[in-house]
Structure 1
Amino acid sequence: MTIYTSLSENVVLPHCSIFSLVFGAPDRHAEDQSIFIDAPSGYTIRRGQFRGLALSLAHGITNFPSPEPPRAGLLSSILPAAKQRGLPLSQGQVALIFSPNSTAYPLVFFALQAAGVIATLANASYTPRELAHQLRDSNAEIAFVYPALLPVLEQAWKDLGVDTDSARRRTVVIDWAPWSPAQTATEPAPTEFVSLAKLLTLGRLEREVSFDGDRASSSTALMCYSSGTTGLAKGVETTHHNVTSVVTMIRSLLPWKKEEVSLSVLPLFHIFGVVLNMCYWPTFGVPVVVQAGQFTPDMFCSNIAKYRVTTSFVVPPILLAMAKHPAPTKHDITSLRNLTSGAAPLSDSLVNAVVTRLEGLGCKNFVITQGYGLTETTLGVFYLPESHAHRKVGSTGMLLPNLEVKLIEDGPGDKEVQEGEPGELWIRGPTIQKGYLNNPTATKEVLSKCGFFKTGDVVTRDSEGFYTIVDRKKELIKYKGFQVPPADLEAVLISHPEIADAAVIGVYSAEQVTELPRAYIVPAKGLQSFQTEEEKTAFENKITAWVATEVAHHKHLRGGVVIIDIVPKSPAGKILRRELRERYKKESGRDPVTGHPAETPAQQ
């Protein structure tokens, strides 16, 4: 049996809470050291100040006055009244965060960690339907919400059958913004909701809740939601030990300099943002500039120039902008020395184009590195060190210490591949999830008998121990790093009264450097109901527009909608997506996986 280990020596892993790792050694970093910087305003939060705020918010969360429950009738004088849901929270209960990036986001996250409350992080572009699923599945007691997203949360509560008074009691509006003159957000919390700013005034915990020893491995700290391969998104239970381990393990391959400044543009609700921008850099004293609002190349480059940023974690579409957009030429970005890409495959040609351009603009010794990981692996699996970045362009790097992997052949059994041959990546180690929440069947399906997590990604390993992602066995679509499960879109499509059946595949766009969801639909009235091509096109456009109102932004059908007479399926009823990919090749002349021109039979 061939089990590969890291070329780096294993490291000693901590057994403590996330909060204790980042803030537990006050003598390690100066109290007045910058920890988070609000990019729009320039407001800087110092390390000691931030820790104090987090402990104050943790106190407010766990000591908020309970409302007096209504009592009526004879039994009310004998039986204790049931506790109403909402604040205050106890250890082990769940709170949801529904917000775009801001410096308030890490404050809420670390306050929950200090209080021993589990944080479940929701995509800020979710619709009420998607948000309601996560609220219900995670059993969230309360939800922290950015003011502009309050209508979405209110509708989600309503869809779950939560009455108005209860919904307001279970909603905390993130109205804290110390950079504004009034010390509140642009949109202050309506008086009928709980105010985050008020929670900060109720006192302060002396210290965080301890998760030392075995508790760190057994206690869930956060739950991001992963789409997996089928069905609705599943809650991934990530423990304190998962996060503290990966932060410690990454350090051996991702060094930093004393003058490092990081720019955070990735969503903080994504495991990528959680581990690296909220936990990794703060643990080691690197200030994080938090870019708020929708990403634009001009804003990205402007913030690099304004804050003399040296490094940032990105996804391939951002690198595409750095290669082609005029923004890098309009700003002094010469402080930038490294961009690390993850969440989606990265081509050699794009790496070379960005490196050539930025070096030409004065970025000395500039390198692009890559990493690979999953929500279920607490992000970290492979990382390409800067020292090998130019020599191993296209590789996702080396295995992190303390991990073991196997590469398994496609087909029955668990036969391992020969060195250099592609195989499905299986991983074992301290970063593997505790499991899928409320879903032991799904958890069992992704674990081997020996405890290896089956990623569904196909990789190769070269003779030097560098890994490259070459394919994906899963049906999951990745749009700019965001997961798009075909089954989720298919469920939405077939709920439309004019659609009888539907199937969704991902088609790669070389221009946008990402996969795009493409739907094939069977109209309820049949293909023959359309008299002209114009009628078909109008119906396809209608469905595209309708889906955009039903799902999050990253799930929009950017790859198009195509009317067909029947969805190809196996005798067991499984959608034959391979046939739809072949159909796409004929329709577009392009390979749906690579975006390159499709080979003709003669070329094959």
Structure 2
Amino acid sequence: MKIYTSHVPPVHIPDESIFTHLFGTRFNEAQASRPAFIDAETGFAVTRGELKELALSCAWGLREEFAKLGGVQLSRGDTLMIFSPNTIAWPVMLFGAVAAGIRATLANSAYTPREVEHQWNDSGAKVVLVHPALLPVVLETFKGLGLSPAQAKQRIIVADWKVSPETKWSGDFIRLTDILGKGIFRVEEKFAGELSNETAYLCYSSGTTGKPKGVETTHKNIVSVVDIVDSFFTPTTSQDVMLGVLPFYHIYGAVKLLQFPFARELPVVIMTRFDPVEFCRNIEKYKVTFALIVPPICLAMAHHPAVTKFNMTTLKFLFSGAAPLSGPLVNAVRKKLATVGADVYVNQGYGLTETSPTTHLLSLEYSLSKVGSVGQLLPNLEARLVVDDVKDAKEGDSGELWLRGPSIMKGYLNNVTATENAITPDRWFKTGDIAIRDKEGFYYIVDRRKELIKYKGFQVPPAELEAVLLQHPAIVDAAVIGIDSEREATELPRAYIVHAKGVKGEEAKKFAKEVKTWVQKRVAKHKYLRGGVVVVGAIPKSAAGKILRRELKEQAKKEILTEPEFTGAKAKL
């Protein structure tokens, strides 16, 4: 068995709750007056000391005040749902729940009532902290569950703290401001020793195959990832400011924007959602030095005119995750920012919800020499590259990335079968991602195992073709899927592309043919886009930036019925 380790020595991981770790073990009283989080729109800031007090007050409110006001009783070990877009209240709610010993399940703020219903039932949540604007969704969810208005009211806390005055909502519900400031926990609920392996967060996987699964992330998992990333991450100064635009309900945002910066004593400017103009405006306004992003934001930075309308010179580092970032796109972003006097490193890392999330990082010193790499393995983790679930890949060859270490999830909630399929008896987690490791220990994610296209026995990684397509000067986004051809008894690669100027009709068809020929000059024959090229207005993606290939495959199934050259072909599912 070939096991790879990090070039960085292991770090000590204490057995304690993430609250104790952030607000006790690593809390520096001398920095208590330093801003922790800043609302981008209003400039309202919460200091590190204030956040600690607010979280302990929120904990008291959840455990003591809510029931007094008519809500259900919450106890240690219960589960609470947070259903809200990014706001300055998020760190108060999340850390308040943790301090109270309550598990937090984080729901996608774009969810429909039916989707919220699944997560509510599966997670076993007893109460929901909901943004006022999303209250109608929650009420519809509870109605679908058969709860009366009175029963629904017992399970709702409206997160009204510091919301915009323009936010409209109605109804007599218990509010976050009703339970804050009424009392305070003298000390948080402790999870020391073995108790640190109790679940703290329940994020849900993307759900591209089957219903979303609840990922049990423990206190120890989060403490581990905060500390192993800290030992590897770029040095920071008291002048550094982070821009927080990634959704907090996603593990990437929840850990890397709400918890890691707090450990590093870095202020985070919170944006509700990504908007290219506001993103650039906030970089200028708050003198932002670095931001955590996803590939769609990189695309915007490479092409949107807002980049040239604001002072971007304080920006020095963009860190991308959640989905593959190609070398050509990295270079395009750096080139665009250079035109406005900003010398910016654009790096990426790797991780999954199941790994809490980060397992690999590319250091700044390798930004150019290892462009396209997700970096090196973090300390305290082990990795394998496995072929067909049975043998190790040869040196330099690709294989499925398996990982083991203290940041790997406990398992999937209420799903023993899925957990056993994902984690081996000796605790190796099968990521489902195909990776290559070079001689210097840098990893490259080349595709998802389940997304590899097989053309007459040859493997065709969609991510590789997408990277090629993005090198075309007129293409701003791309996705590749496989369609099954009964005529040729094989799969055919099919591309969906977005033209920079949004061409349509005959012009789009002509451009698609040109691209098909253009690609043939740049790839091996088995990678030709024999399944066709389609120009679309946008590539469907999740909030975390992952391509929603299932949507494209459903679209392809309908399209090929009207394309004579593909009669007898069907989209691969």
CA distance in 1, matches of 2:567, 2:116: 31
Q: Which residue of 2 aligns with 1:249?
A: 228
1:356 aligns with 2:335: yes
Distance 1:517-1:282 versus aligned 2 partners, 3 A rule: farther
Distance 1:189-1:63 versus aligned 2 partners, 3 A rule: farther
- Where 1:382 maps in the other structure, the secondary structure is strand
Q: Which residue of 1 aligns with 2:7?
A: 7
CA distance in 1, matches of 2:297, 2:387: 34
- Where 2:217 maps in the other structure, the secondary structure is strand
Q: Which residue of 2 aligns with 1:24?
A: 24
CA distance in 2, matches of 1:398, 1:330: 36
Correspondent of 1:417 among 390, 393, 405 = 393
Q: Which residue of 2 aligns with 1:40?
A: 41
Identity over the aligned pairs, expressed in percent?
43
Displacement of 1:230 in angstroms is: 3.0
- Where 2:292 maps in the other structure, the secondary structure is strand
Displacement of 1:414 in angstroms is: 1.3
CA distance in 1, matches of 2:338, 2:131: 39
Q: Which amino acid aligns with 2:363?
A: P
CA distance in 2, matches of 1:581, 1:155: 43
Distance 1:398-1:163 versus aligned 2 partners, 3 A rule: same
Correspondent of 1:289 among 266, 269, 277 = 269
Larger CA deviation: 267-276 vs 200-209: 200-209
1:201 aligns with 2:181: yes
Q: Which amino acid aligns with 1:138?
A: S
1:99 aligns with 2:84: yes
Displacement of 1:87 in angstroms is: 3.2
CA distance in 2, matches of 1:100, 1:375: 19
CA distance in 2, matches of 1:91, 1:8: 37
Q: Which residue of 1 aligns with 2:555?
A: 561
- Where 1:24 maps in the other structure, the secondary structure is helix
1:370 aligns with 2:353: no
Distance 1:275-1:41 versus aligned 2 partners, 3 A rule: same
1:261 aligns with 2:241: yes
Larger CA deviation: 138-147 vs 189-198: 189-198
Correspondent of 1:463 among 439, 455, 459 = 439
Q: Which residue of 1 aligns with 2:368?
A: 390
Counterpart contact for 1:175–1:189, Cα < 8 Å: no
CA distance in 2, matches of 1:34, 1:101: 17
Q: CA RMSD, aligned part only?
A: 3.2
TM-score of the aligned structures, taking structure 2 as reference length: 0.80
Q: Which amino acid aligns with 2:35?
A: S
Distance 1:563-1:3 versus aligned 2 partners, 3 A rule: closer
CA offsets 1:69-99 (integer angstroms, 9 cap, x no match): xxxxxxxxxxxxxxx9x53310000000000
CA offsets 1:183-222 (integer angstroms, 9 cap, x no match): xx544764521110011032111121111222112x1000
Q: Which amino acid aligns with 2:13?
A: L
Distance 1:204-1:387 versus aligned 2 partners, 3 A rule: same
Displacement of 1:353 in angstroms is: 1.1
Distance 1:565-1:341 versus aligned 2 partners, 3 A rule: closer
Correspondent of 2:109 among 107, 124, 129 = 124
Q: Which residue of 2 aligns with 1:339?
A: 318
- Where 2:160 maps in the other structure, the secondary structure is coil
Larger CA deviation: 317-326 vs 261-270: 317-326
Counterpart contact for 1:245–1:430, Cα < 8 Å: yes
Q: Which amino acid aligns with 1:16?
A: E
- Where 2:336 maps in the other structure, the secondary structure is helix
Distance 1:8-1:514 versus aligned 2 partners, 3 A rule: farther
Counterpart contact for 1:317–1:514, Cα < 8 Å: no
Q: Which amino acid aligns with 1:394?
A: G
Displacement of 1:563 in angstroms is: 5.5
Q: Which amino acid aligns with 1:14?
A: P
Displacement of 1:581 in angstroms is: 12
Q: Which residue of 2 aligns with 1:483?
A: none
CA offsets 1:269-301 (integer angstroms, 9 cap, x no match): 000001110000011100000011x32111100
Distance 1:45-1:209 versus aligned 2 partners, 3 A rule: same
Q: Which residue of 1 aligns with 2:511?
A: none
Q: Which amino acid aligns with 1:213?
A: G
TM-score of the aligned structures, taking structure 1 as reference length: 0.76
Q: Structure 2, unaligned stretches of length 5 or more? A: 453-461, 485-535
Q: Which residue of 2 aligns with 1:142?
A: 127
Distance 1:296-1:91 versus aligned 2 partners, 3 A rule: same
Counterpart contact for 2:422–2:430, Cα < 8 Å: yes
CA distance in 1, matches of 2:65, 2:92: 18
Displacement of 1:22 in angstroms is: 1.5
Q: Which amino acid aligns with 1:352?
A: N
CA distance in 2, matches of 1:196, 1:382: 37
- Where 2:90 maps in the other structure, the secondary structure is helix
1:49 aligns with 2:50: yes
- Where 2:38 maps in the other structure, the secondary structure is strand
CA offsets 1:301-345 (integer angstroms, 9 cap, x no match): 000000000001101111111111111100001000000011111
Counterpart contact for 2:246–2:544, Cα < 8 Å: no
Correspondent of 1:407 among 354, 379, 385 = 385
